[in-house]
Chain A
Amino acid sequence: MRVLQIIETAYRATLEEQDDTVLWFTRAIRGAGAAADVVLTGTAVSYTVRDQDAHGLSIGTWSQRHPPAIEHELTKLIESGASVSAIAEDLEERGIAAESMIAGVARLSRKELSGLLGRYDRVWKW
């Protein structure tokens, strides 16, 4: 069964969770056999920007040892065979140029997205 994960909400509790929970969940169900791909839309297209670094968080006497590594998560997804796309219009609105993006993330127009939906058995919006 082919599943398309459309992710719109970004940076939701990523510091506490040490990852994006929907990307994590996608990797987990792929590990369980789901043919799941990802489309990033809205704020979540910011995940495609390379070299993001969340190191350095400290609160009181506590310091974070492992910050979230979204680029690593997306790269692992791509390496596992998942298709990862980002909506081109949302990238352009945020000034995210192709040269600043993680390798392997495809740009997809809104018009192309409508055609993509029909190729999946399940489409889940997060």
Chain B
Amino acid sequence: MTPTRSLTFLLMDAPYEQSRTGTAFRLMDAALRLGFAVRVFAYEGAVSLPVTQQKPHPNAMHGRSVEEEAHPVPHVWVSSLMQRATERGTPLDWVNCGLCVDERGATEVVAGVRRGSPADFWKMVTETDNALIIPTR
């Protein structure tokens, strides 16, 4: 299926910081389910979302082992979105801001995430039906 509609998302929050991150992922997931092509530009702290060194941990306070806790790791959320998009035949393009990556050393990321610049974001905006900016506050 070739999507006829498309959305751009700009994310800015680092992982494990804000409820906005979960909301952004839910919106992107909904867009893919509805057949939108999704393009993501991760800016500033958001470039750490797909970093594969994130690891789940046990939680003694919750009384659960690492397996039982099944701690959410955002890079898995990114991979899951990629997998969903592939299954549905809906394009998902994720671009990490290159300078932001360099600042943070966020170089080890999930497959499919590419490096770019604000020019890539502007190209996304001009090529999609609308753009949602989800900035840090």
Q: Show the binding face of A for B, using Cβ within 8 Å.
A: 11-19, 24, 27-28, 31, 57-62, 64-66
Inter-chain pairs besides A15-B72, A60-B79, 20 sampled, C-beta below 8 Å = A12-B17, A12-B19, A13-B16, A13-B18, A13-B19, A14-B19, A16-B15, A31-B61, A57-B26, A59-B25, A59-B80, A60-B77, A60-B80, A60-B85, A61-B80, A61-B83, A61-B84, A62-B72, A65-B70, A66-B69
B32–A16 touching, CB < 8 Å? no
Residues of B within 8 A of A65 (CB): 70
24 A-B interface contacts by CB (under 8 A): A11-B19, A12-B19, A13-B18, A13-B22, A15-B19, A16-B15, A16-B16, A17-B16, A18-B59, A18-B69, A18-B71, A19-B61, A59-B26, A59-B29, A59-B77, A59-B81, A60-B29, A60-B77, A60-B79, A60-B81, A60-B83, A62-B76, A66-B68, A66-B70
| In the complex, number of A-B residue pairs with CB atoms less than 8 Å apart | 69
Residues of B within 8 A of A19 (CB): 59, 61-62
B96: Cβ under 8 A from any A Cβ: no
Return B62 CB to nearest CB of chain A, in Å.
7
Contact A66-B81, Cβ < 8 Å, known A11-B19, A12-B17, A18-B71 = no
Q: Show the binding face of B for A, using Cβ within 8 Å.
A: 15-19, 21-22, 25-26, 28-29, 32, 59, 61-62, 64, 68-72, 74, 76-77, 79-85, 87
A62 to B16, CA, bound (A): 17
Residue of A whose beta carbon sits closest to that of B82: A60
Residues of B within 8 A of A12 (CB): 17-19
Residues of A within 8 A of B61 (CB): 19, 24, 27-28, 31
A11 to B69, CA, bound (A): 19
